[in-house]
Every structure is written in C-alpha cells, then in structure tokens.
Amino acid sequence: MSGITLYGPAEAPFTVKVERALQLKGVEYLLVAPESQADYRRWNPETGLLPVLDRDGERVHDSTRILEWLDERYPNPPLLSSDPKLAEAQRRLEEWCDETFFFYWLRWQRVREAEESRPPRRFGLLAWARELAGGKGPSRPRRRDGLSAEVGELVDQLARRCDDLIYMLAGRDFFYGSRPSMADLAVYAMLDSMRGGNYPRGPEILAARPELVALMDRVEKASDDA
C-alpha cells in the first residue's frame, strides 16, 4: 500500500483531477469525503479547501500542487511533456482550465440564486399591462431557447470555452502531446462536472462536441487501464 489518503468531495472536479492522476500512475489510495464543513478546516487548516493528499502524515493541498508532488515522487508516466515549451503550455492550460471553469461555476451559483429569489412570472394581459404601467418590462424575458438572458449568456460563454479547448487540442489525442498530461486531467475533470449537470446545459454542450467526448474517453481509458 502507498499509504496515500485523498481527502476531498468525491464529485468535485479538483478531486476528480487528482484521482485520475493517481490512477494514471497506478498509485493506490483511499478517498475520504468530508461529512461536514468542519472537516474542510480540520483536514486543511491552512486554507480550508479540499482536496488534500496525505502520505504517511505528509500533507499537500491544492490540486495543482498535488499533481506536481505526485509527479516528483511517482514519475511514471510523467504528467508533463519532456519538451520544456510544451510542458509550459500544458501547465498554462491546466491553470486556465481550473480558473475559467471554476469562475463560470461560481457565476452559475450566483445567477441561480438570483433567479430563485425572484418572484414567479405573472402571466396574462393584465399582468403585462401592470408591468408596463410600472415602467418595467415583463419579468424574466426568455430567449428563443427558453433561457433567461443571464443563463443564456453563461451557456453561450461555456460553449465558446469548449470550442477554445477543441481549437487548442488541434486534432491531437491529448493537449500538446500524445499522452495525457496535467492539462488533460484538468480539462477532463471540468468536462466531467459539466456532463454531471453542474453547469447549465452542460450535458448538451458536451454532447454537441464529439471531440471533447472522445478526449474524455481517452483519458478514462489511459487511467482505467494503468
């Protein structure tokens, strides 16, 4: 046994990213999920954020740092290209992916809360006339696809970021290389979260982009077979 315990919420992309790295490297580990908010602070007194990896009492937090730590101790297969320029591109993409999709996820939480706190839409001519008389347009106008302006904007931006990923993949099997790197693991984890319904229209956006579905399959195959 490696003596590794990974503390983190099972479905969170940052945890999924680290789990796939461990699987890719064939390192055994035990996943322990938090049961309360207190667990976050207890397992990571420094920032209160998970995941945290523990190996025989040595603790590392932050998924990116954990991947680097793993790459030093379990170098095969490496999570970065041996070409420094490509490795830098992979690092930058990993960071970009984490920050960008996490930002959209936070925005989605805010939009969802705001939508839920609004009064339900009133229907009928009288309601329409009242709203106009009050100087306001009808509440919550919908786009053709049935989404509100805010959610629609978010969905459009998510779709564009997915197109950016396809552009960066440029027809290769993995980002900037022929085997999975930390960039692929970060992208995989965020797409997995989209597929799991954690982003508005996430499953549909993904299903419309077979290049990304195929990338996910390759990452799964590489890590499941390791």
Ligand X SMILES: N[C@@H](CCC(=O)N[C@@H](CS)C(=O)NCC(=O)O)C(=O)O
List interacting residues with ligand X (CB under 6 A): 9, 12, 14, 40, 48-51, 62-64, 98
* Residue 50 or 194 having the CB closest to ligand X: 50
Residue 28: both structure tokens together:
């055994």
Collapsing DSSP states into helix, strand and coil, what is residue 16?
A: helix
* Residue 50 or 158 having the CB closest to ligand X: 50
Relative to beta strand 30-32, strand 52-55 is: unpaired
> Least distance to ligand X from the beta carbon of 197, Å?
16
Q: Which residues contact 52 (CB under 8 A, 6 or more apart)?
A: 6, 7, 8, 43, 44, 59, 60, 61
Q: Return the C-alpha torsion angle 61, 78, 180, 27, nearest 10.
A: -60
> Least distance to ligand X from the beta carbon of 144, Å?
34
* Residue 148 or 193 having the CB closest to ligand X: 193
* Residue 14 or 108 having the CB closest to ligand X: 14
Cβ-contact 90, 80 below 8 angstroms: yes
* Residue 148 or 182 having the CB closest to ligand X: 182
> Least distance to ligand X from the beta carbon of 202, Å?
16
C-alpha span between 42 and 47 (Å, rounded): 10
In sequence order, which ranges of the chain are alpha helices (DSSP H)? 13-24, 37-43, 63-73, 84-117, 125-133, 149-169, 182-195, 202-207, 210-224
> Least distance to ligand X from the beta carbon of 86, Å?
22
> Least distance to ligand X from the beta carbon of 159, Å?
23
